[in-house]
Amino acid sequence: MLQVEHVTVRFDGRTALDDVTLDVGDGEVVTVLGPSGSGKTTLLRVIAGLQRPDQGRVVLDGRDLASVPPHRRGIGLVFQDHALFHHRDVAGNVAFGLRMRNEPAAAIGRRVRDMLELVGLSGFEDRSVATLSGGEQQRVALARALAPGPRVLLLDEPLGSLDRRLRDRLLDDLARLFAEVQVTAIYVTHDQAEAFALGDRVAVMRTGRLVQVGTPDAIWAQPADADLAHFLGLRNVRDGSVVRPEAVLVRVGGGDGNGVVLAAIRQGPTVRLVVSLDSGETLEALVTSLEHPEPGDRVSVEIDPAGIVELP
């Protein structure tokens, strides 16, 4: 439905986007994952028509968008830090896109109520946006972008400015909402958890290039290169292959062992162990038991061959 074809953008000689090609299907949610400065925001601005590509094109429903100005593209964008209209109240923000289409006032009122209900802000119509909390502003921004029923919804780090707990809650809400309204969406984030939780597919971006595009499972099962493996938290990289931490089996006692535990870090239900092998190598292991080796313990380490992933 939406095709980004060989898009390149340069700013003063610096390449922000380098030959990026991405296909997004109808109703699909694609998350774009990458560190800051990797070109994610620029990609969204090109799709929205706010940034003109130096090369390549954007095609929506078979139509080249090159000559279509932003206000006729039917593409919604939730800005980083929201960019709400502070001179209008909540309802005025949400109604904006509907007014641009000259919809009758009654229809606008209904739609605004529906949208605010959808994002859980019923009754906030007359509130000034300046008085809202960060999470509430975020929801208004989302309702504003969704209200005109865009063909594609773009979201630029929408949860970036919020605290962790609020983020987790909004993440669940977003996943529910995407399923409910069946919107085609491109969601940009630097947060792996967000990207994997929301995306039907994840597009990993680095220095202006798409490194890998695939389902969360596919990317997790077969990272495109060592850097990506490392970015995903797979630290056991050796000789062109990755050893998954859950495939590193650690036992305490029983013979001399072949390594020493350096650190044991609890992460929710799992414990991450860092083990220094006698061979000089350092490996990370993941254990699920409540009882686990402590730092300083001498352990024997084995590797399950099924957990070794060859890098291309």
Partner 1 sequence: MDRHRDPLSARAWRAVGYGVPLAFLAFFFVFPLAEIVRRGLGSGGGESPWSVLTDSDTRQVLWFTVWQAVASTALTILVAFPAAYVLGRYEFRGRSAVRALVTVPFVLPTVVVALAFLAILPEGLQRGWAAILIAHAFFNVAVVVRVVGTFWARLDPRVSEAAATLGAGPWRRFREVTLPLLAPALSSAAAIVFLFSFTSFGIVLILGGPAYATLETEIYNQAVRVFDLRAAAVLSLVQLTCVALAVLATTRLEARLAIRGQLRSERDVLRRARTLGEKLVVLASLGGLALFLGLPLAALVERSLAVGGGHSLAAYRALTKPTAALLATPWEAVLNSLVYATGATVIAVVVGGLAAFAIARSSRWSTRLFDGLLMLPLGASAVMLGFGFVITFDRAPVDFRSAPWIVPVAQALVAIPFVVRIVVPTLRAIDERQREAAALLGAPPRRVWREIDLPIALRALAVAAGFAFAISLGEFGATVFLARPDRPTLPVAIFRFLGRPGELNAAEAYALAVVLMVVTAVSVFLVERIRVRRLGWF
Return residues touching partner 1 (CB under 8 A). Answer: 48-50, 52, 69-77, 79, 83, 85-87, 96-97, 100-101, 130, 144-145, 148
Strands 152-156 and 75-78: what pairing? parallel
Q: What is the DSSP letter of 14?
A: E
We find the least distance from the C-beta atom of residue 80 to partner 1, in angstroms, to be 9
Please give the angle made by the CA atoms of 128, 131 and 135, to the nearest 5 degrees. 110
We find the least distance from the C-beta atom of residue 155 to partner 1, in angstroms, to be 12
Of residues 79 and 231, the one with the C-beta less far from partner 1: 79
Please give the angle made by the CA atoms of 193, 152 and 67, to the nearest 5 degrees. 130
Of residues 72 and 176, the one with the C-beta less far from partner 1: 72
CA dihedral 174, 180, 184, 190 (to 10 degrees): 10
We find the least distance from the C-beta atom of residue 150 to partner 1, in angstroms, to be 8
Tell me whether residue 139 is exposed, middle or buried, using C-beta atoms within 10 angstroms of its C-beta: 0 to 12, 13 to 18, 19 or more: buried
**What is the number of other CB atoms lying within 10 angstroms of the CB of residue 297?**
17
We find the least distance from the C-beta atom of residue 48 to partner 1, in angstroms, to be 6
Is residue 198 within 8 A of residue 29, CB to CB? The reply is: yes
Residue 305 pairs in a beta bridge with: none
Structure token pair of residue 306:
């099924």
Is residue 95 within 8 A of residue 139, CB to CB? The reply is: no
Of residues 84 and 243, the one with the C-beta less far from partner 1: 84
We find the least distance from the C-beta atom of residue 46 to partner 1, in angstroms, to be 12
Of residues 68 and 274, the one with the C-beta less far from partner 1: 68
We find the least distance from the C-beta atom of residue 96 to partner 1, in angstroms, to be 5
Of residues 89 and 284, the one with the C-beta less far from partner 1: 89
Of residues 130 and 265, the one with the C-beta less far from partner 1: 130
The sign one gets for the Cα dihedral 145, 148, 149, 152 is negative
